[in-house]
A and B are shown apart, each in its own frame.
Chain A
């Protein structure tokens, strides 16, 4: 038994800020103080508050240290672990009260959160199966195999109201029921871990922080649908997740929780990992299956749906990572428990990756029905730098921008769709007044153009044309008629594309056109970019009266576009040579250079 546990986040966010070195330093300092038998170091999954990484939490007190550096470690060990005095200067400042240290769950970031899918992230060492088992792990699998029929399992999931967390929100129980309804000599379960939305990393955090929950849930889905083989299709860009999944599968096999006759039943199940190779369209289920089969990941028309004819032509159930992460708890706690969380049509919680212009970037999980305002202002801590909130983008390249007028929209499948966006997989990017909405729409279209697989004309050519019009507008060459062309193209693409990628590709344009039309008009009529982003509409000039003739601007100008005589004549920008990089504005100490 250890008296203290030092939990160090080993997720991607904290690992990128150097948590591995911090962990080494802890091991060394703890050994130096002779505490190795008393203090245990646990490398965990994501705590959520990635902005403040590397994060270290010391239990049983629950003390939360943020932005810990290697040099801080000896002090934490000698003061906190040896003498029992927390190092106040390193504490997460929201936990520091006048005369006490508040618990983490009282802080604004965590107070409104409810961690179901992320329940073990940051709590267990994801590389040890025993820690997962200690927190009820594999009990749900044991329960369905020994006490429930497959039909009862499907019914329970149906009753719970669980819907797909990958974006579209299809009822999970129904998906299982369909797959169950087809007879075949072989059926498959696929975990879709091809998290492709730029700015979303929920699935990655579950895979890194709690890989066993996915294995357990896939086995349950296998039992419910009579499938004996599972595939996890995971992005190759997620090395930590892949490593931990491999470890977890080996451990589960060694414990008899994967393989033949699990829990002494007739049920056998195996899981293979398949790596993606960087194609957004492979998040679409028919494209994903084509990719597992080894070819180009191109979607095909549905029906037939995967439940009837899926992977290798066999009935297949495809569930997203976060969806699966909810399954074992639903089995253990019952459908009514799950139904008690959320809104009428959207049950349970949703994980969001908060990013962009927001204080607390990181991972949050909230009950469905929480408002956007609560997530951005209360949990996320609002927009930094005194800037004004402009829009929140959900649903990635398939979603839309939600303006401040709709700040009180409830986060659930229906409400977000009504607001012209979508739940999507869970990216939530906050934008402030410095972001140009036309530029953002162009950014997403650029993504879609590159990721369109090219199979259907509407998407292949339509998105390209859409991008070209947006590019023309941001270059300052747009005409008012271009907005009508955008409207028309959007409608055409969304109605005629083969798969969801194409059908939803115009969403970023449609939602910005709807809510920020005046910004488009400013670009095409007044020829200005109100946010000051679109280079084609900007010009730089030096105010002669303010210029101190120091020549600093000429030194930083990469295009040699600024001329003048040191100490004698004010400097001047040659507008033809200027590449509008803005380096001179940053360099000028006297505010003499203006951008218009």
Chain B
């Protein structure tokens, strides 16, 4: 991970219980590990060690193996992200329409590099694979909002909305 800031664990007992209850409820599911990690990330926003420990205890899958799975898939994250996650689409359609330029400009505007979070925890910046809005290339996503047909000039105005 590029961002090596150590984040203290802030999970609540309620969150932990929610995960435990889900694990008990679904204990007979075939191929439980991935859905369990997905559920944990949905609850905590990322995969803190505490959550992985809970999953390991309930499924019998070792922490090492869970770590192997969590780092294999790009959607799992071991660190929390900012309140607003900016994803710059780097799919082919966006790339040939110069999405690299959009990413460069955002790095300058936010003063962080791709994969990092602003010190105030507000924005995190990452590149992502195709989000399927190729007709609107180049595209960025800020949480659920999609902004397309970008030239770069509008980025400052877009960031100001958040």
A residues touching B (Cβ–Cβ < 8 Å)? 12-13, 15-17, 49-51, 53, 196-201, 204, 236-238, 274-280, 291-298, 312, 353, 355-357, 361-362, 393, 396, 427, 429-431, 435, 440, 443-444, 450, 453, 558, 581-582
Q: Is the CB of B74 within 8 A of A581?
A: no
Interface mask (B49-74 → A, CB under 8 Å = 1, otherwise 0)? 00000000000000001001100111
Residues of the B chain whose Cβ atoms lie less than 8 Å from the Cβ of A200: 130
In this complex, the member of A276, A297, A429 whose beta carbon has the largest number of chain B beta carbons within 10 angstroms is: A429
- Residues 126-160 (chain B) with a chain A CB within 8 angstroms: 128-137, 139, 146, 148
Top 7 closest pairs, chain A to chain B, by CB: A50-B135, A355-B93, A198-B91, A277-B73, A199-B92, A294-B33, A294-B31
Give me 28 A-to-B residue pairs in the complex whose CB atoms sit less than 8 angstroms apart, sorted by A's number. A13-B132, A13-B133, A13-B134, A16-B133, A16-B139, A51-B135, A53-B136, A196-B129, A197-B92, A198-B90, A199-B134, A277-B37, A277-B74, A277-B76, A295-B69, A296-B68, A297-B72, A298-B72, A355-B93, A355-B134, A355-B135, A356-B97, A357-B96, A361-B134, A361-B135, A427-B92, A429-B93, A440-B96
Q: Which of B30, B65, B73, B90 has a CB less than 8 Å from the CB of A278?
A: B73
Q: Is the CB of A199 within 8 A of B108?
A: no
Residues of the A chain whose Cβ atoms lie less than 8 Å from the Cβ of B139: 16
- With contacts A201-B134, A355-B93, A356-B93 known, is A16 near B148, CB below 8 A? yes
| Bound Cα distance from A444 to B130, whole angstroms | 13
Residues of the A chain whose Cβ atoms lie less than 8 Å from the Cβ of B34: 274-275, 277, 291, 294-295
Q: Which of A51, A236, A356, A361 has a CB less than 8 Å from the CB of B92?
A: A356
Query: Quick check: is B21 within 8 A (CB to CB) of the other chain?
Result: no
- With contacts A278-B74, A278-B129, A361-B93 known, is A50 near B134, CB below 8 A? yes
Q: Which of B32, B72, B104, B148 has a CB less than 8 Å from the CB of A453?
A: B72
- With contacts A291-B34, A443-B92 known, is A16 near B136, CB below 8 A? yes
- Residues 93-120 (chain B) with a chain A CB within 8 angstroms: 93, 95-97, 101, 104, 108
Q: Is the CB of A17 within 8 A of B31?
A: no
Query: Quick check: is B35 within 8 A (CB to CB) of the other chain?
Result: yes
| Bound Cα distance from A15 to B141, whole angstroms | 13
Residues of the A chain whose Cβ atoms lie less than 8 Å from the Cβ of B148: 16-17
Q: Which residue of B lies closest to A240 (CB)?
A: B132
Residues of the A chain whose Cβ atoms lie less than 8 Å from the Cβ of B72: 279, 296-298, 453
Residues of the A chain whose Cβ atoms lie less than 8 Å from the Cβ of B133: 12-13, 16, 50
Q: Is the CB of B30 within 8 A of A277?
A: no
Q: Which residue of A lies closest to B139 (CB)?
A: A16
| Bound Cα distance from A161 to B137, whole angstroms | 36
Residues of the B chain whose Cβ atoms lie less than 8 Å from the Cβ of A236: 38, 75
Q: Which residue of A lies closest to B146 (CB)?
A: A16
Q: How far is the CB of B34 from chain A (nearest CB, A)?
A: 5
Residues of the A chain whose Cβ atoms lie less than 8 Å from the Cβ of B95: 198, 443
Q: Is the CB of A199 within 8 A of B93?
A: yes
Q: Is the CB of A429 within 8 A of B92?
A: yes
Q: Is the CB of B135 within 8 A of A13?
A: yes
Q: Is the CB of B130 within 8 A of A197?
A: yes
Q: Is the CB of B129 within 8 A of A396?
A: no
Residues of the B chain whose Cβ atoms lie less than 8 Å from the Cβ of A279: 72-74
Q: Which of B38, B74, B108, B136 has a CB less than 8 Å from the CB of A17?
A: B136
Residues of the B chain whose Cβ atoms lie less than 8 Å from the Cβ of A51: 135-136
In this complex, the member of A198, A274, A296, A427 whose beta carbon has the largest number of chain B beta carbons within 10 angstroms is: A198
| Bound Cα distance from A339 to B41, whole angstroms | 48
Known A13-B134, A357-B96; further 6 A-B contacts with Cβ < 8 A: A17-B136, A199-B93, A276-B73, A294-B32, A353-B134, A356-B96
Q: Is the CB of A50 within 8 A of B73?
A: no
| Bound Cα distance from A550 to B92, whole angstroms | 38
| Bound Cα distance from A361 to B73, whole angstroms | 30
Q: How far is the CB of A487 from chain B (nearest CB, A)?
A: 24
Residues of the B chain whose Cβ atoms lie less than 8 Å from the Cβ of A357: 96-97
Q: Is the CB of B96 within 8 A of A296?
A: no
Residues of the A chain whose Cβ atoms lie less than 8 Å from the Cβ of B128: 237
Q: How far is the CB of B161 from chain A (nearest CB, A)?
A: 15
| Bound Cα distance from A199 to B92, whole angstroms | 5
- Residues 24-42 (chain B) with a chain A CB within 8 angstroms: 30-35, 37-38
Q: Which of B73, B97, B108, B131 has a CB less than 8 Å from the CB of A297?
A: B73
Q: How far is the CB of B69 from chain A (nearest CB, A)?
A: 6
Q: Is the CB of A50 within 8 A of B74?
A: no
Q: How far is the CB of A273 from chain B (nearest CB, A)?
A: 10
| Bound Cα distance from A39 to B153, whole angstroms | 41
Q: Which residue of A lies closest to B148 (CB)?
A: A16
Residues of the A chain whose Cβ atoms lie less than 8 Å from the Cβ of B96: 355-357, 429-431, 435, 440
Q: Which residue of A lies closest to B69 (CB)?
A: A296
Q: Is the CB of A278 within 8 A of B75?
A: yes
- With contacts A279-B72, A296-B69 known, is A581 near B104, CB below 8 A? yes
- With contacts A13-B135, A277-B74, A362-B135 known, is A198 near B31, CB below 8 A? no
Q: How far is the CB of B72 from chain A (nearest CB, A)?
A: 4
| Bound Cα distance from A362 to B73, whole angstroms | 29
| Bound Cα distance from A204 to B148, whole angstroms | 19
Residues of the B chain whose Cβ atoms lie less than 8 Å from the Cβ of A280: 129
Q: Is the CB of B35 within 8 A of A558?
A: no
- Residues 1-48 (chain B) with a chain A CB within 8 angstroms: 30-35, 37-38
Q: Which of B31, B69, B108 has a CB less than 8 Å from the CB of A292?
A: B31
| Bound Cα distance from A293 to B76, whole angstroms | 17
| Bound Cα distance from A582 to B32, whole angstroms | 50
Q: How far is the CB of A200 from chain B (nearest CB, A)?
A: 7
| Bound Cα distance from A493 to B24, whole angstroms | 45
| Bound Cα distance from A587 to B148, whole angstroms | 22
Q: Which residue of A lies closest to B65 (CB)?
A: A295
- With contacts A16-B146, A357-B96 known, is A558 near B108, CB below 8 A? yes
- With contacts A355-B137, A362-B135 known, is A237 near B129, CB below 8 A? yes
Q: How far is the CB of B17 from chain A (nearest CB, A)?
A: 23
Q: Which residue of B lies closest to A18 (CB)?
A: B146
Q: Which residue of B lies closest to A582 (CB)?
A: B101
In this complex, the member of B37, B101, B134, B146 whose beta carbon has the largest number of chain A beta carbons within 10 angstroms is: B134
Q: Is the CB of B33 within 8 A of A393?
A: no
Residues of the A chain whose Cβ atoms lie less than 8 Å from the Cβ of B93: 198-199, 353, 355-356, 361, 427, 429
| Bound Cα distance from A277 to B47, whole angstroms | 13
Q: Is the CB of B137 within 8 A of A361?
A: yes
| Bound Cα distance from A204 to B146, whole angstroms | 17
Q: Is the CB of A312 within 8 A of B92?
A: no
| Bound Cα distance from A361 to B90, whole angstroms | 17
| Bound Cα distance from A53 to B149, whole angstroms | 12
Q: How far is the CB of B91 from chain A (nearest CB, A)?
A: 3
